[in-house]
Amino acid sequence: MKILLVTDAWKPQVNGVVTTLENLVKKLSLNNEVKIIEPNSFVSVPIPFYKEIKLSLNVFKIKKIIKEFHPELIHIATEGPLGLYTRKVCLVKKLNFSTSYHTNFPLYLKKMLGIPVHLTNRFERWFHNAASITFVNTPSHKKELEEIGIKKLALWSRGIDESIFFPTPSNNNNSYYLYVGRVSKEKNLESFLSLELDKKKVVVGDGPSLKSLKKKYPEVEFLGYKFGRELAEIYSNACVKVFPSKTDTFGIVMIEANACGTPVAGYPVTGPIDVVRNGVNGFLDNDLKQAIEQAKKIDPKSCIAYSKKYSWDEVASNFISTITTANP
């Protein structure tokens, strides 16, 4: 089967969207011909307030790519310039396409730019309701999208690469509290960094807030980006993986931490409430310090067992079966 995947988020960006799509493409390519339309093939400019993310400009060649590739399935993963123009081409050519909702843009843009939530919701309705099906990460987020009028939604979870994320025995276990992710305003990172805790705090990741946070919290160890087994070892040696974000729709880093035997602490909001079971693989509380204190009591074996239900093979299989049913 010929599958066209369109995304404004791709390497070298480091985020959950890229992780999801990379693993999806890897699995789909085993039995299908997959073509990716992504920013590196276009003239692009960085977003002024977020230089790691680039917006593609010369999107008009997408029409030619679609014509020459002649895909049987088209999936638009993001709502950026590439996604918008592909959507337009599909509607003009009467081609079916699916979309996915990875980022809570209404809350994200409200926090970053002060854009009213109802305006972004209107855009999201317009964008996604033209699709034959829209994939969404969790039941709680599906409910939220239904409430703002987005139709034809399908659940689509996330996975773990078990060849990378597994516990690493160490004499340094439980020596710090860990954050892994973008270092940016919308991640609510300061609600973690400002806490008085009994162990040091370690931050893995990069982003527009890195410089200011390093200056404000000199006692925190900032490691920058880490990948593969090095990241897995960092997870394994943490006491708790703290997830302070209130704008994420899933949070792959939570299940990666669990696979390494590390419990998760966060807020009881969309995303975490579908991934974390209090006392099983982590703890959620409106008091983040209390969540951390409760999470560190959890047996690592319980976290590892819980993580087993997340598989990239299942993610790819679910994607194909759902999209083919929606596009008979």
Tens digits of residue pLDDT in 236-284: 999 999 999 998 989 999 999 999 999 999 999 999 999 999 999 999 9
Q: Which residue has the tokens 């789909």?
A: 28
For residues 246 and 116, membership in a common domain is answered with no
Question: For each of the chain's 328 residues, which pLDDT tens digit applies?
Answer: 999 999 999 998 899 999 999 999 999 999 999 999 999 988 887 776 666 667 788 899 999 999 999 999 999 999 989 999 999 999 999 999 999 998 888 887 787 778 999 999 999 999 999 999 999 999 999 999 999 999 999 999 999 999 999 998 765 567 899 999 999 998 999 999 999 999 999 999 999 999 999 999 999 999 999 999 999 999 999 999 999 999 898 999 999 999 999 999 999 999 999 999 999 999 999 999 999 999 999 999 999 999 999 999 999 999 999 999 988 7
* Token pair for 54: 């680039």
Tell me if 255 is assigned to some domain. Answer: yes
Same-domain pairing of 154 and 300: no
Kindly report the CATH number assigned to the domain that includes residue 207. Answer: 3.40.50.2000
In a domain, 30, yes or no: yes
Question: Is the pTM of the predicted complex or chain greater than 0.75?
Answer: yes
Strand-by-strand arrangement of the 238-243 sheet: 221-224, 200-204, 176-180, 238-243, 264-266, 282-284
CB atoms within 10 A of CB 179: 23
Q: Tell me if 169 is assigned to some domain.
A: no
The answer to whether residues 14 and 35 belong to one domain is yes
Q: Compute the radius of gyration of the chain from its Cα atoms.
A: 20
Q: Are residues 210 and 317 in the same domain?
A: no
- Long-range Cβ contacts of 147-151 (<8 Å, 24+ apart): 148/121, 148/124, 149/121, 149/125, 150/101, 150/124, 150/125
| Residues 6 and 152 reside in one and the same domain | yes
In a domain, 34, yes or no: yes
Do 17 and 155 belong to one domain?
yes
Check whether residue 207 and residue 241 sit in a common domain. Answer: yes
- Identify whether 85 is part of a domain: yes
| Closest alpha carbon to 65 in 90, 43, 46, 45 | 90
Are residues 126 and 21 part of one domain? yes
Q: How many domains does the chain have?
A: 2
The residue range of the domain holding 303 is: 176-307
Residue 196 covered by a domain: yes
Largest CA distance in the chain: 61
Q: Would you state the pLDDT for residue 51?
A: 62
Alpha helices in the chain (DSSP H): 16-28, 62-69, 81-93, 105-113, 117-128, 139-147, 190-193, 210-216, 228-236, 252-259, 272-275, 288-295, 300-307, 312-326
Tell me, yes or no, whether 143 and 9 share the same domain: yes
Residue 27 shares a structural domain with residue 127: yes
Q: Within a domain: residue 164?
A: no
Give phi and psi for 304, each to the nearest 5: -65, -45
The reply to whether 6 and 151 lie within a common domain is yes
